[in-house]
Structure 1
Amino acid sequence: MRKFMLSAIIVTASLFGLSVQAAEFQAGKEYVELKAPVPVADPSKIEVVELFWYGCPHCYQFEPIINPWVEQLPDDVDFKRIPAMFGGAWNLHGQLFLTLESMNVEQSVHDAVFNAYHNQGNKLETPEKMADLVASNGVDREAFLKAFNSFGVKSRAEQAKKLGMAYQITGVPVMVVNGKYRFDIGSAGGPQRALEVADFLIEKERAAR
């Protein structure tokens, strides 16, 4: 009887813990539920998007926190980075990111871009400066410039602009889960908590399937 009561207490405590966890994050507080969900690229997976800008110090500081998390995501989660396109340098750097992504470069090249901007005073104002930087990190300079000015990359840049508008973002870094839920580091309560919110919403979407 004592063992039964102990088991019941453990189960009750576990259920209580789950309910507390489930209530930990709420729409309108830590995250916003979009009124018009944005279609995802692959409906068979749970999509997680991070919108960022190379020139954003918070995005730069978020990198060493989010990257290990991304590497451990399960197979049913599709993670994407999308550059925020607010005009000027934002658009130029967004095109830089999309060019490098189209060339399938290593993460180390993206790290080099962040480092150049935030630690070396290189604001990457022109495609030529970008080409010089990525060339010093193993990327073919002429191939980069050709891709940067390609129709494919420019089309993806236009798509990124439209997605940013659809997500109704006003700053970065911002995360969006499955085209339905948007949150940022501030609303989540810090960088690590932002990933906890992401995990919570991923599980919410998984449970709804």
Structure 2
Amino acid sequence: MIRTLSLIATMAVSLVFSGLASAEPWEDGVHYRTLSSPVNTSSEEGVEVAEVFWYGCPHCYNFKPLSEAWEKNAPEFVNYVRLPAVLGESWAPHAVAFYALESMGELDKVHDALFKALAGERRPLNSAEALADFVADYGVDAEAFVQAYNSFSVRSRVRQAQAKIMGAQITGTPTMLVNGKYIVSASMAKSHENVLKVVDYLINKEHGLSE
């Protein structure tokens, strides 16, 4: 009887370790990619998680509620930033609009609406004037928006963001850039939900909470 129980216990332990071994790990080069040359982060403290997006991207629009929920519950050591990408000429006005609104402290008023208008409704908001008319409907001063849109500081921020995106060799949206070292996309992780699981793994790795 004792021998039988010992055999059962041994089999149970073997099954547990077999299950752990067969569990799919997050692998470099498969579920995420480590950059050969890391890019700068906005702060030397904490772990930066940068969401690279475009307002006109339907996949970014679908990813948005997931990423926002993740950001809301992220550990205190995470610095979450958004980088509007310019991977095509038509994307440029929307990246400029993002930084113009951010510089005015008005981004929260219009961020959701811009996603809905551009990714959801595909409205032709491709100039400073068209965007100014749009944001005015949400309580943003149109004239002040155009001034910010054309300002040197806003254009500089757009250039800095694109240099970072290009340095990370990002070619699609949405893509997550973790601490300037790793990139994760749905095509790599196989789903938007998995993207955030891989990000969890990577931020813990960077923060020294996992091997």
Deviations 1:107-152 (A, max 9, x none): 3411101111234341201111101111111111111111101110
Between the aligned partners of 1:120 and 1:90, the Cα distance in structure 2 is 16
Between the aligned partners of 1:108 and 1:146, the Cα distance in structure 2 is 18
Structure 1 residue 142 and structure 2 residue 164: aligned?
no
Partner of 1:3: none
**Is this contact kept in 1: 2:39–2:180, CA < 8 A?**
yes
| TM-score when normalising by structure 1 | 0.87
- Supply the AA of the counterpart residue of 2:114: V
Partner of 2:78: 77
Q: Secondary structure at the match of 2:50?
A: strand
| TM-score when normalising by structure 2 | 0.86
Moved more, 25-34 or 86-95: 86-95
What's the RMSD between the two structures over aligned residues?
A: 2.3
Partner of 1:123: 124
Q: Secondary structure at the match of 2:125?
A: coil
Between the aligned partners of 2:29 and 2:120, the Cα distance in structure 1 is 36
Q: Secondary structure at the match of 1:132?
A: helix
Matches of residues 14-25 of structure 1 in structure 2 within 5 Å? 24-25=25-26
Moved more, 38-47 or 104-113: 104-113
Between the aligned partners of 2:22 and 2:110, the Cα distance in structure 1 is 41
Report how far residue 74 of structure 1 moved.
1.7
Deviations 1:179-201 (A, max 9, x none): 11111111111111100010010
Report how far residue 82 of structure 1 moved.
0.5
Partner of 1:201: 202
- Supply the AA of the counterpart residue of 1:123: P
Partner of 1:163: 164
Partner of 2:27: 26
Q: Secondary structure at the match of 2:207?
A: helix
**Structure 1: any 5+ residue segments left out of the alignment?**
1-5
Q: State the number of aligned residues.
A: 199
**Is this contact kept in 1: 2:52–2:175, CA < 8 A?**
yes
**Structure 2: any 5+ residue segments left out of the alignment?**
1-8
Between the aligned partners of 1:43 and 1:55, the Cα distance in structure 2 is 31
- Supply the AA of the counterpart residue of 2:150: N
Partner of 1:61: 62
Moved more, 158-167 or 80-89: 80-89
Moved more, 101-110 or 190-199: 101-110
Structure 1 residue 39 and structure 2 residue 40: aligned?
yes
**Is this contact kept in 1: 2:48–2:79, CA < 8 A?**
yes
Between the aligned partners of 2:167 and 2:156, the Cα distance in structure 1 is 17
Between the aligned partners of 1:193 and 1:186, the Cα distance in structure 2 is 10
**Is this contact kept in 1: 2:55–2:61, CA < 8 A?**
yes
Between the aligned partners of 2:196 and 2:49, the Cα distance in structure 1 is 11
Report which of the two structures shows the higher radius of gyration computed on alpha carbons.
Answer: 2
Between the aligned partners of 2:185 and 2:122, the Cα distance in structure 1 is 27
Between the aligned partners of 1:20 and 1:139, the Cα distance in structure 2 is 54
